[in-house]
Amino acid sequence: MTTQSPIRTHCPTCGAKLHRTDLSLCAYCATPLSIADAPGRVDDETIQRLKRLREHKSFAAAMEFTPLDREAEVVRGRRLTLGTLVLLVAVAPALALAWTLTRGGMWIPWAVAAAVPALVGIGILASRSGLRTRAETRPMMRRPALVVVRRSETDSEVGGTNYYFTLRFDDGSEGEFLWPGQGTSYEPLSNGYAGIAYTRGAKLVDFRRLT
């Protein structure tokens, strides 16, 4: 009598929740999994289509490409604006300080008024580099992928939209990945798109379509 192994719902390596529990490979870190008596069935035609992408003329360049994390870059841009504005606030008391020093008046209050926003602004600008570093801490995976299903969720409070794409890879794995909305200038992926998916964990950083 054989005992069937319990179905695993999360990857033991990266901890991600598995989109499908009948497959034997984690879609988020590519760790082999023993979660079924046999590998789950996959669409052979889809897998072969994805494998043919490796012969595409743009495949090598796409695999060498490293996209920026757009979400982190948006925050970096906001901090650049905020830091610059805070530094500008320090300009007026700095000018008053310079004028006071020439007159021999009370300079300490103006020095404090200029130093505080200046230090705050410099700190905000300095924190921008850490955002990109943290975003790139986890390794990026580059794989041929097909968009199977797209869904979206809208935050009614802030008005932002998050997209979730179910991607199938040429190794037979499948998972759902978050792609934060980038505004009206970015067209979300459509079902059936094939190309190279750039993922970090359960986040879709970018997708380069190969046709």
Per-residue pLDDT averaged across 166-174, rounded? 90
The answer to whether 86 and 116 have CB atoms below 8 angstroms apart is no
- pTM, two decimals, is 0.74
Collapsing DSSP to helix, strand or coil, 144 comes out as strand
Closest CA to 166 of 202, 210, 115: 202
**Eight-class DSSP state of 53:** G
31: left (phi over 0), alpha (psi -120 to 50) or beta: beta
Per-residue pLDDT averaged across 160-166, rounded? 85
Closest CA to 99 of 85, 88, 87, 113: 113
Per-residue pLDDT averaged across 3-16, rounded? 74
Of 40-44, 179-183, 206-210, the range with the highest mean pLDDT is: 206-210
Using DSSP, how many helices (H) and how many strands (E) does the chain show? 5, 5
Per-residue pLDDT averaged across 186-210, rounded? 88
pLDDT score, position 37? 45
pLDDT tens by residue, 108-118:
887 888 888 88
**Residue indicated by tokens 């990026």:** 140
Contacts of 187 (CB under 8 A, 6+ apart): none
pLDDT score, position 62? 92
pLDDT tens by residue, 12-65:
888 888 888 777 788 888 888 765 444 445 567 888 888 899 999 999 999 999
